[in-house]
Amino acid sequence: MNLIERKFEKLGTDHAPGQEVRQSGDTAEFNLPGEPLPGTPVDFSHGDVNNNAFAPTPGALEEFVAGVHRGGPQAYTEYRGGAELREQVAGKLTEFTGRPVSGAKELIITPGTQGALFLALGATTTTGDKVAIVRPDYFANRKLVEFLGAEVVPVRMDYLTHTEGAGLDLDGLEAAFKSGVRTFLFSNPNNPAGVIYSPAETARIADLANRYGVTVIVDQLYSRMLFRGQVYTHLRASSINSDQVVTIMGPSKTESLSGYRLGVAFGAAHLIDRMEKLQAIVSLRAPGYSQAVLRTWFAEDPKWLQDRIAKHEAIRDDLLRLLRTVPGLAVRAPQAGSYLFPRLPALGVSLHSFVRALRVQAGVTVTPGTEFSPDATDSIRLNFSQNHRAAVQAIERTVQLIERYRA
Protein backbone atom coordinates (compact mmCIF):
# COMPACT_ATOMS: atom_id res chain seq x y z
CA MET A 1 0.00 0.00 0.00
CA ASN A 2 1.52 3.35 -1.00
CA LEU A 3 1.39 6.63 0.90
CA ILE A 4 -1.88 7.92 -0.55
CA GLU A 5 -3.61 4.57 -0.23
CA ARG A 6 -2.66 4.48 3.45
CA LYS A 7 -3.95 8.02 3.90
CA PHE A 8 -7.38 7.19 2.45
CA GLU A 9 -7.53 3.93 4.36
CA LYS A 10 -7.93 6.11 7.46
CA LEU A 11 -10.78 8.14 6.01
CA GLY A 12 -13.42 5.39 5.79
CA THR A 13 -17.03 6.58 5.52
CA ASP A 14 -18.80 3.20 5.48
CA HIS A 15 -20.48 3.81 8.83
CA ALA A 16 -20.67 7.59 8.63
CA PRO A 17 -24.10 9.20 9.03
CA GLY A 18 -26.02 9.40 5.75
CA GLN A 19 -24.04 6.61 4.09
CA GLU A 20 -26.10 3.71 5.44
CA VAL A 21 -27.73 3.09 2.05
CA ARG A 22 -24.30 2.01 0.78
CA GLN A 23 -23.92 -0.87 3.22
CA SER A 24 -24.89 -3.92 1.22
CA GLY A 25 -23.63 -6.17 4.04
CA ASP A 26 -24.60 -9.57 2.68
CA THR A 27 -22.50 -11.43 5.22
CA ALA A 28 -23.92 -13.95 7.69
CA GLU A 29 -22.89 -11.72 10.62
CA PHE A 30 -25.07 -8.96 9.19
CA ASN A 31 -28.13 -11.12 8.59
CA LEU A 32 -29.16 -11.63 12.17
CA PRO A 33 -32.30 -13.66 12.82
CA GLY A 34 -35.39 -11.85 14.08
CA GLU A 35 -38.90 -10.82 13.09
CA PRO A 36 -39.38 -7.33 11.66
CA LEU A 37 -40.84 -4.75 14.05
CA PRO A 38 -43.34 -2.68 12.06
CA GLY A 39 -43.50 1.12 12.34
CA THR A 40 -42.64 4.37 10.59
CA PRO A 41 -38.93 4.26 9.68
CA VAL A 42 -36.87 6.95 11.44
CA ASP A 43 -33.42 8.02 10.33
CA PHE A 44 -31.71 9.25 13.50
CA SER A 45 -28.41 9.72 11.61
CA HIS A 46 -29.51 13.30 10.86
CA GLY A 47 -32.41 15.61 11.63
CA ASP A 48 -35.65 15.47 9.67
CA VAL A 49 -36.28 18.73 7.82
CA ASN A 50 -39.69 17.74 6.49
CA ASN A 51 -42.85 19.57 7.46
CA ASN A 52 -44.06 16.90 9.86
CA ALA A 53 -40.78 17.29 11.82
CA PHE A 54 -38.64 20.48 11.80
CA ALA A 55 -38.95 22.48 8.60
CA PRO A 56 -36.50 25.26 7.62
CA THR A 57 -36.87 28.77 9.09
CA PRO A 58 -39.95 30.50 7.66
CA GLY A 59 -38.90 32.86 4.85
CA ALA A 60 -35.70 30.96 4.00
CA LEU A 61 -36.82 29.90 0.53
CA GLU A 62 -38.13 33.39 -0.19
CA GLU A 63 -34.70 34.86 0.61
CA PHE A 64 -33.09 32.29 -1.69
CA VAL A 65 -35.41 33.19 -4.56
CA ALA A 66 -34.76 36.90 -3.99
CA GLY A 67 -31.04 36.10 -4.18
CA VAL A 68 -31.46 34.36 -7.53
CA HIS A 69 -33.28 37.42 -8.83
CA ARG A 70 -30.46 39.70 -7.68
CA GLY A 71 -28.34 37.74 -10.17
CA GLY A 72 -24.62 38.33 -10.65
CA PRO A 73 -23.73 40.06 -7.38
CA GLN A 74 -25.36 37.20 -5.46
CA ALA A 75 -23.91 34.43 -7.65
CA TYR A 76 -20.37 35.80 -7.53
CA THR A 77 -19.40 37.13 -4.13
CA GLU A 78 -15.94 37.57 -2.70
CA TYR A 79 -14.59 34.15 -1.80
CA ARG A 80 -15.25 34.82 1.89
CA GLY A 81 -18.87 35.77 1.11
CA GLY A 82 -20.77 38.94 0.20
CA ALA A 83 -19.40 41.99 2.04
CA GLU A 84 -22.73 43.49 3.12
CA LEU A 85 -24.02 40.13 4.34
CA ARG A 86 -20.83 39.56 6.34
CA GLU A 87 -21.35 42.89 8.11
CA GLN A 88 -24.90 41.93 8.96
CA VAL A 89 -23.98 38.46 10.26
CA ALA A 90 -20.99 39.85 12.20
CA GLY A 91 -23.30 42.23 14.05
CA LYS A 92 -25.54 39.37 15.09
CA LEU A 93 -22.62 37.21 16.20
CA THR A 94 -21.14 40.08 18.20
CA GLU A 95 -24.38 40.27 20.13
CA PHE A 96 -24.71 36.49 20.46
CA THR A 97 -21.16 35.77 21.65
CA GLY A 98 -20.51 38.96 23.61
CA ARG A 99 -17.27 39.90 21.86
CA PRO A 100 -16.95 42.10 18.74
CA VAL A 101 -16.68 40.44 15.30
CA SER A 102 -15.48 42.45 12.29
CA GLY A 103 -17.44 41.49 9.16
CA ALA A 104 -14.62 42.78 6.97
CA LYS A 105 -11.71 40.97 8.61
CA GLU A 106 -12.89 38.30 11.02
CA LEU A 107 -15.64 36.34 9.29
CA ILE A 108 -15.91 33.87 6.40
CA ILE A 109 -19.03 32.21 4.96
CA THR A 110 -18.44 28.57 4.00
CA PRO A 111 -20.28 25.65 2.35
CA GLY A 112 -21.68 24.18 5.56
CA THR A 113 -19.93 24.02 8.91
CA GLN A 114 -18.03 21.01 7.55
CA GLY A 115 -16.42 23.42 5.09
CA ALA A 116 -15.56 25.78 7.94
CA LEU A 117 -13.97 22.97 9.97
CA PHE A 118 -11.82 21.87 7.04
CA LEU A 119 -10.67 25.40 6.29
CA ALA A 120 -9.94 26.19 9.94
CA LEU A 121 -7.87 23.08 10.47
CA GLY A 122 -6.22 23.46 7.04
CA ALA A 123 -5.26 27.03 7.99
CA THR A 124 -3.57 26.00 11.23
CA THR A 125 -2.20 22.52 10.64
CA THR A 126 0.27 20.94 8.27
CA THR A 127 2.25 17.72 7.89
CA GLY A 128 3.69 16.46 11.17
CA ASP A 129 1.78 18.86 13.46
CA LYS A 130 0.02 17.60 16.58
CA VAL A 131 -3.70 18.31 17.08
CA ALA A 132 -5.64 17.62 20.29
CA ILE A 133 -8.99 15.89 19.67
CA VAL A 134 -11.60 15.05 22.31
CA ARG A 135 -12.96 11.50 22.65
CA PRO A 136 -15.81 11.36 21.88
CA ASP A 137 -16.25 14.23 19.43
CA TYR A 138 -17.61 14.96 15.93
CA PHE A 139 -16.63 12.11 13.63
CA ALA A 140 -14.84 14.16 11.00
CA ASN A 141 -12.42 15.86 13.42
CA ARG A 142 -9.86 13.06 13.54
CA LYS A 143 -10.19 12.45 9.80
CA LEU A 144 -9.35 16.09 9.06
CA VAL A 145 -6.17 15.65 11.07
CA GLU A 146 -5.30 12.42 9.20
CA PHE A 147 -5.88 14.02 5.78
CA LEU A 148 -3.57 16.92 6.62
CA GLY A 149 -0.81 14.48 7.52
CA ALA A 150 -0.90 15.58 11.16
CA GLU A 151 -1.08 13.55 14.36
CA VAL A 152 -4.13 13.12 16.64
CA VAL A 153 -3.43 13.56 20.35
CA PRO A 154 -6.57 12.25 22.08
CA VAL A 155 -8.02 13.84 25.22
CA ARG A 156 -10.63 11.98 27.22
CA MET A 157 -14.08 13.38 28.12
CA ASP A 158 -15.96 11.55 30.91
CA TYR A 159 -19.41 12.83 30.07
CA LEU A 160 -21.24 9.93 31.74
CA THR A 161 -19.71 10.36 35.18
CA HIS A 162 -20.35 14.12 35.36
CA THR A 163 -23.60 15.96 35.86
CA GLU A 164 -22.05 19.39 35.44
CA GLY A 165 -19.64 20.42 32.71
CA ALA A 166 -18.55 18.21 29.86
CA GLY A 167 -16.12 16.19 31.97
CA LEU A 168 -13.04 16.97 29.87
CA ASP A 169 -9.80 15.61 31.29
CA LEU A 170 -8.17 19.02 31.76
CA ASP A 171 -4.90 17.59 33.07
CA GLY A 172 -4.83 15.39 29.99
CA LEU A 173 -5.38 18.50 27.89
CA GLU A 174 -2.45 20.23 29.56
CA ALA A 175 -0.26 17.18 29.03
CA ALA A 176 -1.25 17.20 25.34
CA PHE A 177 -0.42 20.91 25.01
CA LYS A 178 2.91 20.29 26.78
CA SER A 179 3.71 17.50 24.34
CA GLY A 180 3.76 20.04 21.48
CA VAL A 181 0.13 20.29 20.32
CA ARG A 182 -0.33 23.44 18.18
CA THR A 183 -4.09 23.24 17.60
CA PHE A 184 -7.05 22.06 19.70
CA LEU A 185 -10.33 21.31 17.90
CA PHE A 186 -13.51 20.52 19.83
CA SER A 187 -17.28 20.90 19.72
CA ASN A 188 -19.28 22.72 22.42
CA PRO A 189 -22.06 21.65 22.93
CA ASN A 190 -20.37 18.31 22.36
CA ASN A 191 -21.47 16.23 19.40
CA PRO A 192 -22.34 13.34 20.09
CA ALA A 193 -22.95 13.67 23.86
CA GLY A 194 -24.93 16.93 23.94
CA VAL A 195 -23.05 18.22 27.00
CA ILE A 196 -21.92 21.82 27.56
CA TYR A 197 -18.49 22.83 28.85
CA SER A 198 -18.87 24.63 32.19
CA PRO A 199 -17.59 28.20 32.74
CA ALA A 200 -14.71 26.68 34.76
CA GLU A 201 -13.77 24.25 31.97
CA THR A 202 -13.90 27.04 29.39
CA ALA A 203 -11.75 29.32 31.57
CA ARG A 204 -9.16 26.57 32.00
CA ILE A 205 -9.07 25.86 28.25
CA ALA A 206 -8.49 29.58 27.61
CA ASP A 207 -5.78 29.72 30.22
CA LEU A 208 -3.97 26.66 28.85
CA ALA A 209 -4.25 27.90 25.26
CA ASN A 210 -2.69 31.24 26.22
CA ARG A 211 0.05 29.61 28.27
CA TYR A 212 1.10 27.10 25.60
CA GLY A 213 0.32 29.25 22.53
CA VAL A 214 -2.23 26.78 21.17
CA THR A 215 -4.82 27.84 18.58
CA VAL A 216 -8.33 26.66 19.51
CA ILE A 217 -11.03 25.88 16.95
CA VAL A 218 -14.40 25.58 18.67
CA ASP A 219 -17.37 24.14 16.80
CA GLN A 220 -20.46 25.79 18.34
CA LEU A 221 -22.96 24.47 15.82
CA TYR A 222 -25.52 23.65 18.54
CA SER A 223 -25.00 26.64 20.81
CA ARG A 224 -28.40 28.21 20.02
CA MET A 225 -30.35 25.10 21.06
CA LEU A 226 -30.00 25.36 24.85
CA PHE A 227 -32.47 23.54 27.07
CA ARG A 228 -34.09 25.05 30.18
CA GLY A 229 -31.71 26.11 32.93
CA GLN A 230 -28.56 25.78 30.85
CA VAL A 231 -25.83 28.41 30.73
CA TYR A 232 -23.46 28.62 27.78
CA THR A 233 -19.99 30.22 27.85
CA HIS A 234 -18.49 31.39 24.57
CA LEU A 235 -14.79 30.59 24.51
CA ARG A 236 -14.08 33.67 22.37
CA ALA A 237 -15.53 35.87 25.15
CA SER A 238 -13.19 34.33 27.74
CA SER A 239 -9.64 35.43 28.50
CA ILE A 240 -8.27 33.60 25.45
CA ASN A 241 -6.03 35.73 23.18
CA SER A 242 -8.19 36.84 20.28
CA ASP A 243 -5.61 35.76 17.68
CA GLN A 244 -5.74 32.18 18.99
CA VAL A 245 -9.41 31.34 18.59
CA VAL A 246 -11.72 30.59 15.66
CA THR A 247 -15.41 29.87 16.30
CA ILE A 248 -17.54 27.85 13.91
CA MET A 249 -21.31 28.04 13.64
CA GLY A 250 -24.00 27.62 11.01
CA PRO A 251 -27.73 27.75 10.47
CA SER A 252 -27.98 24.08 9.70
CA LYS A 253 -29.27 22.60 12.94
CA THR A 254 -31.57 24.64 15.18
CA GLU A 255 -32.81 26.31 11.99
CA SER A 256 -33.02 23.10 9.87
CA LEU A 257 -31.32 24.83 6.94
CA SER A 258 -28.79 22.04 6.19
CA GLY A 259 -30.02 21.61 2.63
CA TYR A 260 -28.62 25.05 1.76
CA ARG A 261 -25.13 24.12 3.03
CA LEU A 262 -24.11 27.22 4.95
CA GLY A 263 -21.63 27.77 7.72
CA VAL A 264 -19.53 30.59 9.13
CA ALA A 265 -16.19 30.82 10.89
CA PHE A 266 -15.16 33.91 12.83
CA GLY A 267 -12.18 34.96 14.88
CA ALA A 268 -8.45 35.58 14.39
CA ALA A 269 -8.11 37.74 11.25
CA HIS A 270 -4.88 36.12 10.04
CA LEU A 271 -6.53 32.69 10.17
CA ILE A 272 -9.68 33.91 8.39
CA ASP A 273 -7.35 35.29 5.66
CA ARG A 274 -5.75 31.87 5.26
CA MET A 275 -9.13 30.17 5.27
CA GLU A 276 -10.24 32.37 2.38
CA LYS A 277 -7.13 31.45 0.38
CA LEU A 278 -7.88 27.82 1.01
CA GLN A 279 -11.58 28.19 0.22
CA ALA A 280 -10.51 29.68 -3.15
CA ILE A 281 -9.06 26.32 -4.16
CA VAL A 282 -11.40 23.99 -2.28
CA SER A 283 -14.83 25.27 -3.30
CA LEU A 284 -14.19 28.85 -4.44
CA ARG A 285 -17.04 30.27 -2.38
CA ALA A 286 -20.15 29.25 -0.46
CA PRO A 287 -23.15 28.78 -2.75
CA GLY A 288 -23.89 32.27 -4.04
CA TYR A 289 -27.66 32.12 -3.98
CA SER A 290 -27.75 30.14 -0.71
CA GLN A 291 -25.79 32.89 1.04
CA ALA A 292 -28.95 35.01 0.83
CA VAL A 293 -30.65 32.59 3.22
CA LEU A 294 -28.30 33.78 6.00
CA ARG A 295 -30.41 36.94 6.12
CA THR A 296 -32.96 34.94 8.08
CA TRP A 297 -30.36 33.91 10.67
CA PHE A 298 -30.68 35.46 14.13
CA ALA A 299 -33.65 37.29 12.65
CA GLU A 300 -36.21 34.58 13.44
CA ASP A 301 -39.38 35.35 15.34
CA PRO A 302 -38.29 34.78 18.99
CA LYS A 303 -41.49 32.84 19.65
CA TRP A 304 -40.78 30.51 16.75
CA LEU A 305 -37.26 29.82 18.07
CA GLN A 306 -38.47 29.32 21.63
CA ASP A 307 -41.16 26.93 20.44
CA ARG A 308 -38.63 24.98 18.36
CA ILE A 309 -36.32 24.53 21.35
CA ALA A 310 -39.22 23.53 23.63
CA LYS A 311 -40.34 20.91 21.10
CA HIS A 312 -36.85 19.40 21.00
CA GLU A 313 -36.71 19.34 24.79
CA ALA A 314 -40.04 17.51 24.93
CA ILE A 315 -38.78 14.85 22.50
CA ARG A 316 -35.55 14.54 24.48
CA ASP A 317 -37.48 13.95 27.69
CA ASP A 318 -39.73 11.27 26.17
CA LEU A 319 -36.82 9.41 24.61
CA LEU A 320 -34.78 9.59 27.82
CA ARG A 321 -37.70 8.18 29.79
CA LEU A 322 -37.88 5.18 27.45
CA LEU A 323 -34.14 4.58 27.34
CA ARG A 324 -33.84 4.71 31.12
CA THR A 325 -36.17 1.72 31.43
CA VAL A 326 -33.45 -0.47 29.88
CA PRO A 327 -31.37 -2.25 32.54
CA GLY A 328 -27.67 -1.64 32.09
CA LEU A 329 -28.11 1.26 29.64
CA ALA A 330 -26.37 4.52 30.63
CA VAL A 331 -27.33 7.88 29.18
CA ARG A 332 -26.80 11.49 30.23
CA ALA A 333 -29.49 14.06 29.47
CA PRO A 334 -28.22 16.35 26.71
CA GLN A 335 -28.03 19.99 27.81
CA ALA A 336 -28.18 21.35 24.29
CA GLY A 337 -28.43 20.29 20.66
CA SER A 338 -30.39 17.33 19.35
CA TYR A 339 -28.15 14.33 20.04
CA LEU A 340 -28.50 11.44 22.47
CA PHE A 341 -25.50 9.18 23.00
CA PRO A 342 -26.61 6.20 25.12
CA ARG A 343 -24.16 3.48 26.15
CA LEU A 344 -25.90 0.16 25.55
CA PRO A 345 -25.86 -2.82 27.88
CA ALA A 346 -23.61 -5.72 26.84
CA LEU A 347 -24.93 -7.30 23.62
CA GLY A 348 -24.36 -10.74 22.16
CA VAL A 349 -23.51 -9.24 18.76
CA SER A 350 -21.06 -6.60 17.59
CA LEU A 351 -22.09 -2.92 17.60
CA HIS A 352 -22.07 -2.75 13.79
CA SER A 353 -24.26 -5.86 13.57
CA PHE A 354 -26.70 -4.42 16.08
CA VAL A 355 -26.87 -1.12 14.18
CA ARG A 356 -27.53 -3.07 11.01
CA ALA A 357 -30.24 -5.23 12.64
CA LEU A 358 -31.85 -2.09 14.05
CA ARG A 359 -32.10 -0.63 10.57
CA VAL A 360 -33.20 -3.80 8.78
CA GLN A 361 -35.55 -5.24 11.39
CA ALA A 362 -36.89 -2.09 13.05
CA GLY A 363 -36.48 0.67 10.45
CA VAL A 364 -34.34 2.69 12.86
CA THR A 365 -31.12 4.23 11.55
CA VAL A 366 -28.49 5.30 14.11
CA THR A 367 -24.76 6.02 13.96
CA PRO A 368 -22.34 3.67 15.75
CA GLY A 369 -20.35 5.29 18.56
CA THR A 370 -17.07 4.23 16.97
CA GLU A 371 -17.48 7.11 14.50
CA PHE A 372 -16.92 9.47 17.45
CA SER A 373 -14.33 7.60 19.49
CA PRO A 374 -12.52 4.30 18.93
CA ASP A 375 -13.46 3.50 22.55
CA ALA A 376 -17.20 4.01 22.09
CA THR A 377 -17.79 0.43 20.93
CA ASP A 378 -20.98 0.20 23.01
CA SER A 379 -22.68 3.52 22.21
CA ILE A 380 -25.00 4.79 19.50
CA ARG A 381 -25.77 8.35 18.46
CA LEU A 382 -29.31 9.53 17.73
CA ASN A 383 -30.30 12.89 16.28
CA PHE A 384 -33.72 13.44 17.85
CA SER A 385 -34.68 16.38 15.64
CA GLN A 386 -37.54 14.22 14.29
CA ASN A 387 -41.28 13.90 14.21
CA HIS A 388 -42.07 13.48 17.92
CA ARG A 389 -44.46 10.54 17.66
CA ALA A 390 -42.38 8.63 15.12
CA ALA A 391 -39.24 9.13 17.24
CA VAL A 392 -40.94 7.77 20.38
CA GLN A 393 -42.18 4.69 18.52
CA ALA A 394 -38.74 4.15 16.96
CA ILE A 395 -37.13 4.20 20.41
CA GLU A 396 -39.74 1.72 21.66
CA ARG A 397 -38.61 -0.60 18.84
CA THR A 398 -34.96 0.11 19.69
CA VAL A 399 -35.61 -0.96 23.30
CA GLN A 400 -37.15 -4.21 22.00
CA LEU A 401 -34.13 -4.86 19.78
CA ILE A 402 -31.74 -4.29 22.68
CA GLU A 403 -33.60 -6.99 24.59
CA ARG A 404 -33.54 -9.29 21.55
CA TYR A 405 -29.75 -9.09 21.30
CA ARG A 406 -28.81 -8.64 24.96
CA ALA A 407 -25.79 -10.76 25.92
- What is the rounded CA–CA span in Å between residue 134 and residue 154? 6
Q: Exposed (0-12), middle (13-18) or buried (19+): which is 283, by Cβ within 10 Å?
A: middle
Which is nearer to its own copies, 68 or 310 (by Cβ)?
68
Q: Exposed (0-12), middle (13-18) or buried (19+): which is 272, by Cβ within 10 Å?
A: buried
- What is the rounded CA–CA span in Å between residue 313 and residue 306? 11
Which is nearer to its own copies, 7 or 135 (by Cβ)?
7
By CB under 8 A, the residues from 100 to 119 that bind its own copies are 111-112, 114-115, 117-118
Which is nearer to its own copies, 77 or 335 (by Cβ)?
77
In whole angstroms, the minimum distance from the beta carbon of 338 to its own copies comes to 14
102 Cβ contact partners less than 8 Å away, ≥ 6 residues apart? 90, 269
Is residue 284 part of the contact set for its own copies (CB under 8 A)? yes
In whole angstroms, the minimum distance from the beta carbon of 140 to its own copies comes to 5
Stated length of the chain: 407
Sole binder of its own copies in the list 1, 4, 28, 346 (CB under 8 A): 4
The pattern of x and - marking residues 345 through 384 that bind its own copies according to CB under 8 A reads ----------------------------------------
Which is nearer to its own copies, 50 or 241 (by Cβ)?
50
Is residue 285 part of the contact set for its own copies (CB under 8 A)? yes
Helix (H, G, I), strand (E, B) or coil at 252: coil
Is residue 11 part of the contact set for its own copies (CB under 8 A)? yes
Sole binder of its own copies in the list 126, 230, 242, 400 (CB under 8 A): 126
Output DSSP code: residue 236: G
For residues 157 and 167, is the Cβ–Cβ distance under 8 A?
yes
By CB under 8 A, the residues from 223 to 262 that bind its own copies are 258-261
By CB under 8 A, the residues from 261 to 280 that bind its own copies are 261, 274, 276-278, 280
Q: Exposed (0-12), middle (13-18) or buried (19+): which is 25, by Cβ within 10 Å?
A: middle
Largest CA distance in the chain: 61
Residue 139 CB: number of other CB atoms within 10 A?
Answer: 21
Sole binder of its own copies in the list 107, 108, 134, 144 (CB under 8 A): 144
In whole angstroms, the minimum distance from the beta carbon of 364 to its own copies comes to 16
Which is nearer to its own copies, 315 or 326 (by Cβ)?
315
- What is the rounded CA–CA span in Å between residue 160 and residue 20? 27
By CB under 8 A, the residues from 16 to 75 that bind its own copies are 16, 18-19, 21-22, 43, 46, 48-51, 53, 55-56, 61, 64-65, 67-68, 71-72, 74-75
Which is nearer to its own copies, 64 or 184 (by Cβ)?
64
Angle between helix 112-124 and 269-282 (nearest 10): 120
Sole binder of its own copies in the list 57, 97, 125, 367 (CB under 8 A): 125
CA atoms within 13 A on the CB side of 311: 18
CA distances to 11, 40, 221, 222, 314 from 387, in Å:
32, 10, 21, 19, 11
Which is nearer to its own copies, 94 or 258 (by Cβ)?
258
Sole binder of its own copies in the list 15, 32, 44, 77 (CB under 8 A): 77
Selection from 328, 315, 327, 348 nearest residue 44 by Cα: 315
What would the 3-class secondary structure string for 138-186 be?
CCHHHHHHHHCCCEEEEEEECHHHCCCCCCECHHHHHHHHHCCCCEEEE
Query: Where does this chain touch its own copies (CB under 8 A) — which range of 13-21, 197-205, 300-308, 354-362?
Result: 13-21
- What is the rounded CA–CA span in Å between residue 335 and residue 46? 18
Which is nearer to its own copies, 78 or 95 (by Cβ)?
78
Query: Where does this chain touch its own copies (CB under 8 A) — which range of 86-94, 190-198, 286-294, 399-407?
Result: 286-294
Sole binder of its own copies in the list 24, 127, 161, 325 (CB under 8 A): 127
Sole binder of its own copies in the list 143, 224, 332, 404 (CB under 8 A): 143
Which is nearer to its own copies, 139 or 232 (by Cβ)?
139
Sole binder of its own copies in the list 136, 250, 288, 369 (CB under 8 A): 288
